[in-house]
Amino acid sequence: MKARLAASAALALGIAIGGSGCAMITYQATTEKYDASDGVSADLGTIELRNMLVVSDDGEQGNLVVAVVNTGEDDATVEFEVVDSGERFEVDVDAGDVVSLGAGDEDPITIEDLGAEVGGLVAIYAQHSGEEGQEIQVPVLDGRLPEYEDLAP
């Protein structure tokens, strides 16, 4: 009787484990953070830069497109610098707020001396409020795609 009960319990356990799918031992791709669009992302402490890209028709002048998310409890000023040209600009972001630059109703952040090839990358250094900064390799795209045709300067 005990053997039959033990066999039934082992069989039930085997069916439960087998019926749960491979989730217990298989790699879960949904746990990986990735950039779902053409831009790149970076985290600077409590500041998150999302879908960062530059739209340019000629590689000389470009429009920086980025969503700046402040997850902190203090207002922040985010500083950007185009590494090759030294061109700088700042963006103020209130605590808990998101500022979208370069798209929609927002004024574009025009980089006058981009010096990058369309289809290539441009190095942009970003930093805020005394946090350690980060150099980000940002893709340079043109207006051939419908979603970017109105974003080129």
CATH code where residue 107 lies = 2.60.40.1890
pLDDT-derived band at 87 (thresholds 50, 70, 90) equals: very high
User: pLDDT digit string (tens) for 41-68?
Assistant: 999 999 999 999 999 998 899 999 999 9
Residue 107 lies in a domain: yes
Query: Is residue 18 scored above 70 in pLDDT?
Result: no
Residue 70 lies in a domain: yes
pLDDT in the model for residue 97: 95
Residue 12 lies in a domain: no
Domain count, the chain: 1
Query: Is residue 2 scored above 90 in pLDDT?
Result: no
For 141, phi then psi, to 5°, come to -120, 160
pLDDT in the model for residue 136: 97
Residue 104 lies in a domain: yes
**Residue 102 sits in which domain range?**
34-141
Residue 11 lies in a domain: no
- What distance in Å separates the CA atoms of residue 143 and residue 102, rounded to the nearest whole number? 13
pLDDT-derived band at 92 (thresholds 50, 70, 90) equals: very high
Residue 28 lies in a domain: no
User: Phi-psi region for residue 57, left (φ > 0), alpha (ψ -120 to 50) or beta?
Assistant: alpha
Residue 25 lies in a domain: no
